[in-house]
Amino acid sequence: MNALTTLVVLGQVAAGEVGSGRITGGWGYVWVSYGITWGSLALYALSLWLRRPTKNLTAGPKE
Contact residues for other proteins, defined by CB under 8 A: 21-27, 29-30, 32-34, 36-37, 40-41, 44-45, 48, 51-53, 57-58, 60-62
Number of Cβ within 10 Å of residue 30's Cβ equals 10
- We find the least distance from the C-beta atom of residue 16 to other proteins, in angstroms, to be 20
Look up residue 11 and give its DSSP letter. H
Helix, strand or coil, per DSSP, at residue 60:
coil
In the bound state with other proteins, the residue whose beta carbon lies nearer, of 2 and 20, is 20
Look up residue 52 and give its DSSP letter. P
- We find the least distance from the C-beta atom of residue 15 to other proteins, in angstroms, to be 20
